[in-house]
Amino acid sequence: MAPMSFRSLALVALSTLVFAQASDVESSAASGQRANALAACAALNKSLGSTLVQTSSGPEYDFSVHNAWNFQNTLFNPTCIVFPRQTSHVQTAMKAIFKAKAHYAVQAGSHSAMKGWNNVQDGVLILFSHMQSVVYDKPSHSVTFEPGIHWGNATSQLSQYGVAVVGGRVGDVGTGLLLGGGISFLSPSQGFAADNFLSLDVVLVDGTVVTATATNRYSDLFTALKGGANRFGIVTKYTVRAVDVGTPDDTPFYGGHILYNSSYAAALSKATAKYTRETTDPKAALLFTITTTLIDGVAEQVCVLFLFYRGSSLPQSIYGDFLAIPAVDTVLSPLSWTQILPARDPPNFVSSNRGFVQHFSASAVVPEDRLVLSALNHFQNFSSAFLHNGTTSGMNTTSFILTPILASQIAAGKAKGGNSMIAPGLKGPYLNVQRSEQFDAGVPDIPAFVQDGMNLYIKQVPRSPGLPLFMNECDQGQNVYETYGNFDALKATYKKYDPTRFNMQYTQGPMGL
Ligand SMILES: Cc1cc2nc3c(=O)[nH]c(=O)nc-3n(C[C@H](O)[C@H](O)[C@H](O)COP(=O)(O)OP(=O)(O)OC[C@H]3O[C@@H](n4cnc5c(N)ncnc54)[C@H](O)[C@@H]3O)c2cc1C
Ligand SMILES: *[C@@H]1O[C@H](CO)[C@@H](O)[C@H](O)[C@H]1NC(C)=O
Ligand SMILES: *[C@@H]1O[C@H](CO)[C@@H](O)[C@H](O)[C@H]1NC(C)=O
Ligand SMILES: *[C@@H]1O[C@H](CO)[C@@H](O)[C@H](O)[C@H]1NC(C)=O
Ligand SMILES: *[C@@H]1O[C@H](CO)[C@@H](O)[C@H](O)[C@H]1NC(C)=O
Ligand SMILES: *[C@@H]1O[C@H](CO)[C@@H](O)[C@H](O)[C@H]1NC(C)=O
Ligand SMILES: *[C@@H]1O[C@H](CO)[C@@H](O)[C@H](O)[C@H]1NC(C)=O
């Protein structure tokens, strides 16, 4: 039997199996959950009206349900979707949800890889597609934006003023990134994206709205939200520091990407560890990826390095090791910020790939060659175990992604008041080690034996003691909060703002609070 047809058959078998489990006899818990959601939705339909609260399939409901980036999150049918236009609509929604004890989810940019974190079955989905404003305030050198904006849109709208916000590295990703900490190509000089918060409007679990800043009575909530994800409330407005990056006519950066033969995977991983150890210049940024993809049933692996320097060329003293390794293709030039983070992602970019199950997992290690090479070896075993001729894993692509967290990034965050992730004593540098997967079209879920392999890899590539795992890149089975440097404060803050633990019970998100 040819590998492809064997694969197709296996996939059909797999989907039948998963759907059979999902449509199992309904429990009374599930019907209670549905009744509560119906009550919340009926109340909201009454108070907000049927444009803001869509209870049955219409074009906007259908588009929104099927728009989540991870295919697993397009298979839930929320009882209703609330499309707020302003903070008070979110307050009304949370009051009704809290009162009815309804399950709920929040969706901003839709890019969570976590199943169930941005959509919900038999619950209320709050979706921010109508709250996308972004405003620059020159006197305070700050930017205020709503949660529905995507980084590419924010970049293009702010570029006329020569400023940017510290957001993501990919244009289609959204503001949920901030609540998980957030890493930008500006992070080496500016800290984690969340380190740049100035003020946050937060709708608490019971519908109360508060404005949290570093110095007011909600400063504990403000710090918790720098990495605390979705457990503390719903942010409806972000005010953050602006960063000067020039207009689209300016090219203050130099860089791009370099493609390498995968035979250099180990050399490049070691060079990334050394770069992380030795780079003290906060103008330097880098991201290293190794990707294996099944193309016509054959596994192909490539290495791609993304590198950007704020200056007119790449300093040899920083990038020399990478530039000395023979490249397959080198695309480097002077760049504007809008070229580094364009309004639209390139076609066929991973962010544009909708309709596939997606998965992440995270580790964080001190940048020693032996630790990086060990992680790489485990990745290579994982990759060849699940991406081989005639595989029935349903997996199409897996990547190994290294992000240096320079000491300058950690220092910048501390200078801006600190966050929930980094312990006061942690100076860094360290390396975030991410693994990500994309499955074939038609695969509705991750097969159990593949998840077992993922879990084995997570055990094989443990974080170094004292380092926080990166929320935005984790597997939902990883307890990220307990790795945070300020875990005790985070727990106390959660208890204060959600004393009945409603969010731990009625919305999906990180475990461990
Ligand atoms: C292609 C790609 C590239 C990425 N690149 C980066 C990167 O460069 N740097 C980085 O740090 N991360 C990156 N990520 C990870 C990304 O930060 C996370 O997936 C993040 O959760 C996405 O946010 P979102 O708004 O797009 O997604 P969503 O799925 O809409 O939201 C993510 C989570 O945040 C919650 N949430 C969103 N908005 C709110 C709110 N206003 N209030 C309360 N809870 C909220 C949601 O409920 C959900 O749990 C990338 C992801 C992808 C898929
Ligand atoms: C929502 O309210 C409208 C009246 O404003 C009503 O016609 C409609 O049936 C309601 N929908 C649901 C699902 O309750
Ligand atoms: C990578 O190098 C190997 C030899 O080391 C060669 O066989 C292979 O064709 C190269 N791949 C690409 C894509 O250039
Ligand atoms: C944001 O960008 C996307 C394309 O990436 C576009 O479809 C959308 O209309 C933009 N939204 C706004 C408000 O500019
Ligand atoms: C995988 O299949 C391709 C043809 O589809 C073949 O050329 C290649 O040698 C096979 N590789 C292995 C490891 O079996
Ligand atoms: C796997 O991904 C590659 C590259 O994106 C694509 O060409 C191929 O069609 C995909 N295979 C399947 C079965 O989806
Ligand atoms: C390689 O991965 C497979 C699949 O997860 C696993 O069974 C095997 O033990 C791994 N081997 C090593 C040496 O880690």
Instruction: Give the tens place of pLDDT for each residue, 249-291.
Output: 999 999 999 999 999 999 999 999 999 999 999 999 999 999 9
Query: Could you tell me if the CB of 259 is within 6 A of ligand 3?
Result: no
CA of residue 50 to ligand 2 center, whole Å: 7
pLDDT of residue 4 exceeding 80, the answer is no
| Test site for ligand 2: of 47, 50, 52, 81, most ligand atoms within 8 A of the Cβ | 50
Q: At 236, which helix (H) or strand (E)?
A: strand 234-241
pTM of the model: 0.94
476 pLDDT higher than 60? yes
Q: Between 369-386 and 265-278, two packed helices, what is the crossing angle to 10 degrees?
A: 140
Among 65, 72, 74, 111, name the best residue to mutate to test ligand 1's pocket (greatest count of ligand atoms within 8 A of Cβ).
111
pLDDT of residue 16: 37
For the CA of 457, the closest atom of ligand 7 is: 5
Q: How confident is the model at residue 58 (pLDDT cuts 50, 70, 90)?
A: confident
490 alpha carbon – ligand 6 mean position (Å): 42
Q: Which H or E run contains 241?
A: strand 234-241
Q: Which of 129, 153, 158, 173 to mutate to test the pocket of ligand 4 (most atoms within 8 A of CB)?
A: 153
Rounded Cα distance between 308 and 169, Å, is 12
Phi, psi at 243, each rounded to 5°? -120, 135
Q: Is residue 300 in contact with ligand 3, taking CB distance under 6 Å?
A: no
Q: What is the pLDDT of residue 26?
A: 61
The CATH T-level fold of domain 253-489 is Vanillyl-alcohol Oxidase; Chain A, domain 3 (3.40.462)
**pLDDT tens digits along 338-352:** 999 999 888 778 888
How many whole angstroms from 261 Cα to the centroid of ligand 3?
A: 6
Tally of CA atoms within 13 A in the half-sphere of 416 that contains its CB: 27
The fold of the 134-246 domain, in CATH, is 3.30.465
- How do residues 76-125 score in pLDDT, each as one tens digit? 999 999 999 999 999 999 999 999 999 999 999 999 999 999 999 999 99
Contact (CB, 8 A) for 242 and 164: yes
Closest atom of ligand 6 to CA, residue 348: 5
What residues have CB less than 8 Å from 111, skipping those under 6 apart?
69, 172, 173, 174, 176, 177, 351
Domain boundaries, the chain: 7-127, 134-246, 253-489
Could you report the per-residue pLDDT of 312-325, keeping only the tens digit for each? 999 999 999 999 99
Domain 7-127 has CATH 3.40.50.2000: no
Q: Which residue from 240, 238, 250 is spatially nearest to 338, judged by alpha carbons? A: 250
Closest ligand 2 atom to Cα of 80: 13
pLDDT at 15 over 70: no
H/E element holding 196?
A: none
